[in-house]
Structure 1
Amino acid sequence: MIRLVGITLGLATLMVSTTPAWGTSPPLRCRRVEEAVVVVACIVQADGTVAECEVVRETAPGCGYAEKALAGVAKARLRSNDTWQPGETIEFTMRFRNP
């Protein structure tokens, strides 16, 4: 069973931590991206952390959002009162919006 967990990250408020690192300027195709969606699937661990995360879908490939999404879910910890079972696969959906 796969559960979905929604997370919205606004680039306007989290600019430093969520803007992909492109070097001097973003690739041309990425400059016009107003919103990017990344879906990451992870396996729940007994302590509420997640492991073996992988990107299953992204709307702006090659623009750095997938890497930021993976870095974000690596810090995720599920609440103990949630109904997740160890070994269960869950999906995080992250939306990145440019100001």
Structure 2
Amino acid sequence: MMQDEDRSRATEGRWLLIKLATWCGALMLLGWAAWGAAWMVANLRVSLDMPPPSETSDTLPSRIAPPEPVAAPAPYMSDEGRAITNPSWLQAPEPAFPRAALRKGVETGAVSLECQADAQGRISACEIVDETPPGAGFGAETVRAAMKARIRPRLIDGEPAASQVAFTVRYRLE
């Protein structure tokens, strides 16, 4: 009877060691996976594809010619026709590479936005003009990052004024 109890305890002890070793191995694998994911995220590169700032003007005419000067700034997407296409960033957007794109194996993407900038340079009311590839999360991430960005506002008669801003963000996994 005593031998059966000893065998039972020994068998139970072996099973505990096997379970412990299995859990330790699983935790090591998870640690390696987490380190690999952290390394991958740390080595992601996102670039803003914007022309260099113009030395002569903060704005460039868009597709529509502007009308005669108006006292108040026109509402968003009006036919005023002037959008800042080469913004001078006080705080540039810093988007992260979307997890959805990583899950889908997408390594590059681009998003073109048109946003409203107030007289203090805060970005709001962003509209995605183009997103490549669609559905990989690039558009939502770019809008999220743009809402935290600030530009040097356009000056009208020496005073800061609200305006439209248009820019493209390109993503590349390195």
| TM-score normalized with structure 1 length | 0.69
Q: Percent identity?
A: 27
Q: Is 1:19 matched up with 2:92? A: no
- The answer for the alignment partner of 2:35 in structure 1 is none
Q: Is 1:98 aligned to residue 173 of structure 2?
A: yes
The alignment yields a C-alpha RMSD, in angstroms, of 2.8
Q: For the Cα contact (< 8 Å) 1:4–1:93, is it kept in 2?
A: no
5+ residue gaps in structure 2? 1-81
Match in the other structure for 2:83: 2
1:65 aligns with 2:158: no
Instruction: Say yes or no: does 1:40 pair with 2:117.
Output: no
- Greater helix percent: which structure? 2
Take 1:21 and 1:35, find their aligned partners in 2: how far apart are those partners?
A: 13
Higher relative contact order (CA 8 A, sep 6+): 1
The alignment status of 1:89 with 2:170, answered yes or no, reads: no
1:49 and 1:76 in contact (8 A); partners too: yes
Conserved in 2, the CA contact under 8 Å of 1:51 and 1:74?
Answer: yes
| Structure number having the greater strand percentage | 1
Q: How far apart in 1 are the matches of 2:161 and 2:114? A: 14
- Structure with max Cα Rg: 2
Where does structure 1 lack aligned partners over 5 or more consecutive residues?
A: none
